[in-house]
Amino acid sequence: MQMVQRIAPCLWFDDKAEEAAGFYVSVFPNSRIMKVIRYGEAGHEIHGRPAGTVMTVAFELDGHAFVALNGGPLFAFNEAISLQVYCDTQDEVDYYWERLSAGGDADAQQCGWLKDKYGVSWQVVPTVLIEMMGESDVAKSQRATEAMLRMKKFDIAQLTRAYAGA
């Protein structure tokens, strides 16, 4: 028997759960759609969805379990919750930023945040920035923080120069 991840985010969509899951799986390596569950006749008076349409999509992103739900227009995503993508290189930052922001809203965001075409908020974060901000040398940490606050998509070289005082 396969062990189920104890905690998995459930993303509520109006009616684009399967499309969104497919998009996310195409962006991240080591990802897959695991199961699609469809609405049946039972509960139609409550959910109002036609039998046979997608209810949930279980999927993995880089080995982490998620569920996408077609729950209707009741709720929408907002920035109160975001998914963080940690990147070791500028190429990774660029890759995730470009793909996740395609069709979404990257211009209105800052500090590595973007909103994808489904309204989900993401943070594309270089791991080196976390190290810089946790530095015991307060002057270095503050320079990195000041540089970070001026950026939308992170530029590791620029953050490194600011951190070093250059």
- Which residues make beta-bridge pairs with 15? none
Name every residue whose Cβ is closer than 8 Å to that of residue 23 and which is 6 or more positions away in sequence.
Answer: 116, 117, 118
Q: Are 152 and 110 in contact (CB under 8 A)?
A: yes
Query: Measured between alpha carbons, how far apart are the two ends of the chain, in Å?
Result: 55
Q: Which CATH class is domain 82-164?
A: alpha beta
Question: pLDDT (tens digit, 0 to 9) for every residue of the chain, 166 residues total?
Answer: 455 678 999 999 999 999 999 999 999 999 999 999 999 989 888 888 899 999 999 999 999 999 999 999 999 999 999 999 999 999 999 999 999 999 998 777 889 999 999 999 999 999 999 999 998 999 999 999 999 999 999 999 999 999 999 8
The structural domains of the chain, with segments of one domain joined by +, span 10-70, 82-164
Which CATH code fits 10-70? 3.30.720.100
What pTM does this model have? 0.91
Q: Are 128 and 56 in contact (CB under 8 A)?
A: no
